[in-house]
Every structure is written in structure tokens, then in C-alpha cells.
Amino acid sequence: MTRVIKTTRNRTASMGAALLALGAGAALLGASCDLSFRCRGPGCPEPITGTCPWHCAETVWDGTSSSVEGFSNADVFAVWVGSPREAPDCESSNYFHARDYYQEPKSIDRCPRCVAEPRTEELYESVTLRKGGHCGDDTYAGAPVVGAFVVPAGWDGSCVSQRSDVFPAPEDVDFAMASGESAAWDCRASLSLEDVDALWGKVVRTCRRFWHLDQDCEDIDALCIPEMAPGFRECLEYRGDDELQACPRSHPELVQAHIDVSGCTRCETNGISASTERKWMLTFYADEQCTQPMPSIDTWGDGRCIDLPPGASPRSVSATLTVESLAECVPRGGEQEGELGPGDLVSFCCRPPA
């Protein structure tokens, strides 16, 4: 099995404010991996010294060595519960937004308005380094990943030098690939904050992220996730077929919430006239401070696959985003089509003890 090891190379200069809000700045700024999860079951493994750039999520356990039906350690949310007007952004907490749920219905007398706005950004989740292929031919598809830069969620393109590499770390790489949220959706749909605040006492904001190259947490059947920002808690999603009767002992706190306002059409958006035209340009550097740029070729012309010169060993990366035009976005939905009321109440996740 390929073992992932961490090389502590990190600099995310202009993300300072977001990382301070995260409360995980120490982890993202080179701290060692915290694998001190609270395993309570029989035969729990010893914490291992590893390379997860963040930490291992709480593992599910219910007093026996058997698996817990309806729960998987891979289904972890970061969950925040509170006033809609105070809901934090997932990306500032180093996560990606999943969806919102709602609690404490007020007077449900209208459908929340649907808002549409153009997306300017493209959210990169990773920049991987590969060996044994090139972007310009079919060899790129099967080339193994030998490392990756740990970019923050909502990366603004500032210098990043924290890397996780396979063991043994490669002396050189052939090309790099960037992956992330698809740019196919040029418009973002959301509910009017004013209306949500008028209809609900609390919003349950759910966010997701995990480190795709981790194998240390995986070895102990856990998921490598960013540290919880202030106000956020881990929550294990329930995926069982039957109604949840009780949460497992490792995650005893049940979170229930309404999906939406019933009787309203779904909030959606569609771009018209023209799509958003944007382009990322990745630059790799021979040093950790992004001061010694390396020659490279953006083979696909869209900032996603970059061929590097022979013997290249990039130590940091930055990105530049150019937005040439924005889509015209029109909201659709948010109209009454039936009797209004709180939508379905779902038992969607369980939290470990505070």
C-alpha cells in the first residue's frame, strides 16, 4: 500500500483572515497531524503518527465490534446551528458548502424568494503532482499521483507550499493537475436571507471536505477532515433505510431539521445570454516562498493540466484567476404551488459529545 507522508511546507499569505476564523491555522500552518480521536470500542487501534494535514474524524461505535447500521465513517459533516443572519461561510472554515436545513419554524406565510447571482470563482480542491505521463497525450490518465499541495477551500490563489507526498517522496514530477468544483454551473442559486430569517429561527449549515490522499486515518477506518471552526461540530450522516431510532454511543446527539418550506417550487437558476468566461493560470516554484517560478506549459489552456520540465520538483504553487465575462442569471422557483408549512423533518446526522 502506498503510504502518504507529510512534508511541512506551508505558506498561505493572503488567507490569513480565513484561517484565523477557522481555528485550525496551526494545523494548516505545518502542525503535526492530530490523530487523537476518541475511540471507545474494544480493540481500538493506537493513534498512529501520520500525515493527514488536518485530523481524523470521530469514528462511529456502539458498544460492540460490529458496524453500526446506517452509518459510515466516510459520511462526516461539519455542522453549524444558529441564527440565519449569523451563519458562517463554509469556505472560510476550510470546508465546501453541502446544503442548509432549518429549525424552529416561525409563521410560515410565504415562500422564500429565490436569488440568483453569477459565479466568478472556481473552487479548486486540490493540485496534484503526477509522474510517468504528460498532459499532451493519453499517458496523463493513468499516471499515478505522487503528491499534492494542500490548498485551502475557496483558494484565492495566494502562495501555498504545504505538500503531502507518497513515500518515498519523488525527486521529480512530470506534470500537475488541478481538480475541484465543476465550472458547469455559472450561476449560484440561494434563498433570500431576509425571508429565511423571517420564516425560521435557526439554520443548520452543513459543510463537507476530506483529504483525498490520506491513508493514515483510512487505516483506522476514519476520515481525514479539517479542524472544526468555532461554532462547528462534527456530525455523522445517517443513511439507513428505516427511521432512525437512536444515535450510536459514539455520536449520541441527534440533529433533526426541516428540509425546506413545503408547498413551494424548488429554487433554481439558469444562465442566459452568455456563460461566465474565466481562466485560471497556475504557476509553480522551485522554492517555498513563491519567488522562483519554474517553466511550465499549460497544455490544455485552462489551468487544469500543466506539463513541467524534466527533473522538476515544485515546492510551492500560486494561481491567478481572470474573469472575462459573467453569465446573466435568472432565478427560478420559490413560488407557491400548495399549502404552506414546514417541510419534512429529517433525522439526518448524529454528533459526538461536545
- The pLDDT value given to residue 40: 40
Neighbours of 200 (CB within 10 A): 25
Burial 61-83 (b: 16+ CB within 10 A, else e): bbeeeeebebbebebbbbbbbee
Average pLDDT over residues 132-152: 91
At 132, list the grid cell.
510517468
Nearest to 338 by CA among 268, 260, 269: 260
Please provide residue 105's backbone torsions phi and psi, each rounded to the nearest 5 degrees.
Answer: -60, 140
Banded model confidence at residue 129, pLDDT cuts 50, 70, 90: very high
Banded model confidence at residue 321, pLDDT cuts 50, 70, 90: confident
Banded model confidence at residue 276, pLDDT cuts 50, 70, 90: low
Banded model confidence at residue 343, pLDDT cuts 50, 70, 90: very high
> Residue 234 half-sphere exposure, CB side, CA atoms within 13 Å?
26
Nearest to 236 by CA among 110, 84, 347, 132: 347
Fill in the amino acid letter for 25.
G
- The pLDDT value given to residue 271: 62
Measured between alpha carbons, how far is 297 from 283 in angstroms, rounded to an integer?
Answer: 10
Better pLDDT: 156 or 32: 156
pTM of the model: 0.81
329 DSSP β-pair partners:
271
